[in-house]
Amino acid sequence: MMGEDFHLPASLQIGLLPEWRNTERISTLAASLSGFEGVSDVVYGEDYLPGLTGLIGTLHKLDLFAGTIILVGVSLVVAGAVRLAVARRSLTVEMMTIMGASDGFVRAPFLFEGLLSGLAGSVGGLLFTYAVSQILSGSIDHSFLPGRWIGGVILLGAATGLAGSWMGLSSSLPSPRK
């Protein structure tokens, strides 16, 4: 089978494990591959790779920044919604306070509301993302978020809702003034 007509292909395409996919390790690998007998050239995009890696790093930072903005934004929206809810039920809150309701007793329904809002928002967001992912599955090769990420997003949504409602309550519940 391997006679004179057998030739190695003109080039070999090498796939890298994720932990090898950075400029430093790729250039080290390229240097060691260049030393192999019969290897005349190793091409790995050395001209544009550093720029591309930098761009990806920037995109990751933007991701984090956007995520933080969204988290703070969601917290503020939930805080505003809880403030409105407190205002809508101001008579109930006032009467409960006068009757000797503990802080926890007054806060609990609003915190629960914030928690549910956060949960509903994160689950809704995930469902929307899943639907988009399904629509794009024919044209773009990708996989949906792993299970741990899904759990994390739901927990983060719940925590954000809870934090938002806590913020909203802190500024809208009556407390004795001096």
Partner 1 sequence: MGPSSMPFRFRAVTLMIRFDGVYRSYSEWPALEDVSFSVEPGEFVVLTGPSGAGKTTILRLIWMGDLPSRGRVEVAGYSSDRMRPADFPALRRKIGVVFQDFKLLPDRTVFDNVALPLQVAGTSTRAVRKRVFSLLGEMGLSHRRLSMPHELSGGEQQRVAVARAMVAHPSVLLADEPTGNLDPVVSRRVIELLVEINRSGTAVLMATHDPRQIPPRLARLIFIEQGRIKDPSDIQSVEAR
Q: Is 45 left (phi over 0), alpha (psi -120 to 50) or beta?
A: left
Query: Which window, 33-41, 94-102, 114-122, 123-131, contacts partner 1 (CB under 8 A)?
Result: 94-102
Applying CB under 8 A, among 32, 92, 137, 171 the residue interacting with partner 1 is 92
Q: Cα separation of 169 and 174, whole Å?
A: 9
Q: Is 116 left (phi over 0), alpha (psi -120 to 50) or beta?
A: alpha
Q: Which of 29, 35, 34 is nearest to 17 (CA)?
A: 29
Contacts of 4 (CB under 8 A, 6+ apart): none
Work out whether 12 is an interface residue with partner 1 (CB under 8 A).
no
Site for partner 1 in 39-58 (CB under 8 A): none
Size of the site for partner 1 (CB under 8 A): 17
**Long-range contacts (CB closer than 8 Å, 24 or more residues apart) made by 26-31:** none
Applying CB under 8 A, among 91, 139, 146, 147 the residue interacting with partner 1 is 91
Work out whether 2 is an interface residue with partner 1 (CB under 8 A).
no
- Cβ atoms 133, 142 nearer than 8 A: yes
Query: Which window, 42-50, 58-66, 88-96, 130-138, contacts partner 1 (CB under 8 A)?
Result: 88-96
Applying CB under 8 A, among 14, 103, 127, 128 the residue interacting with partner 1 is 103
Site string for partner 1, 21-40 (x = CB under 8 A): --------------------
Q: Cα separation of 9 and 130, whole Å?
A: 41
User: Judged by CB, which is closer to partner 1: 2, or 99?
Assistant: 99
The letter for the amino acid at 11 is: S
Site string for partner 1, 138-177 (x = CB under 8 A): ------------------------------------x-xx
Give the footprint of partner 1 on this chain (CB under 8 A): 91-92, 94-103, 105, 174, 176-178
